[in-house]
């Protein structure tokens, strides 16, 4: 009888280095989506320049929300894999799906910068965040399986899986409120206790 083929595994150091690189590039690209209005130049008056910079406040808000979202996802990603010993094929595939969506986030951020806080732009942005929440859920489930722990839906998972769609719905009716909720969710996941809860699930 032919022996079973070995399971596909990946070095944890290489896995984390690649993931960190994608996070770093995605978060850096966000600032490239901030653009001055074409009608403003160095020859404009100080008042006109100040007004133009203040008029960009929706772009600043979206930049802050996106930066916080990617930043806290990187932090939680680190916490999730801190105690993970095995990088399985399932983890790699789920992680690639997650990184694909995270690296895509600068585009809906640019859409918001170009279209403003319109209903369609905020909903489009929210759909991407919903996908990222699902991607994190898939990665978390694969980590639990790799560590021999029972797969389960935790409160940490449910917040993202339920509130990102809810925030997108809010954004459909009140776009500014939707962006504020997205930013608030990033701050929620930034709370040290919540970050620690992710690490504890893999012990």
Above 50 in pLDDT, residue 138?
yes
Is the pTM for the entire model greater than 0.85?
yes
pLDDT of residue 7: 60
Listed as own residue / partner, the contacts of 110-114 with beta carbons closer than 8 Å and 24 or more positions apart are 110/33, 112/58, 112/59, 112/62, 112/179, 113/33, 113/34, 113/35, 113/58, 113/59, 113/62, 113/63
The residue with tokens 């133009």 is 52
Confidence of residue 3 (pLDDT cuts 50, 70, 90): very low
Above 90 in pLDDT, residue 154?
no
Q: How far apart are CA 197 and CA 112, in angstroms?
A: 33
pLDDT in tens, 49-94: 788 788 888 888 889 999 999 999 999 999 999 888 889 999 999 9
Q: What angle do CA 70, 75, 79 make, to 5 degrees?
A: 140
pLDDT in tens, 37-54: 767 666 567 887 788 788
């Amino acid at each position: 009888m032919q022996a079973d083929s070995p399971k596909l595994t990946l070095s944890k150091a290489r896995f984390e280095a690649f993931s960190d690189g994608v996070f770093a590039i995605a978060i850096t690209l966000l600032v490239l989506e901030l653009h001055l209005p074409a009608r403003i130049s160095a020859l404009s008056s100080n008042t006109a320049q100040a007004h133009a910079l203040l008029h960009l406040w929706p772009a600043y808000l979206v930049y802050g929300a996106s930066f916080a979202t990617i930043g806290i996802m990187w932090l939680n990603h680190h916490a999730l894999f801190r105690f993970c010993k095995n990088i399985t094929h399932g983890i790699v595939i789920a992680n690639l799906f997650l990184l694909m969506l995270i690296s895509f986030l600068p585009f809906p951020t640019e859409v918001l910068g170009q279209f403003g806080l319109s209903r369609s732009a905020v909903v489009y942005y929210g759909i991407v965040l919903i996908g990222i929440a699902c991607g994190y859920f898939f990665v978390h489930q694969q980590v639990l399986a790799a560590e021999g722990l029972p797969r389960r839906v935790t409160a940490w998972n449910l917040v993202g899986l339920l509130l990102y769609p809810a925030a997108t719905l809010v954004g459909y009716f009140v776009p500014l409120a939707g962006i504020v909720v997205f930013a608030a969710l990033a701050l929620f996941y930034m709370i040290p206790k919540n970050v620690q809860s992710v690490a504890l699930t893999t012990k």
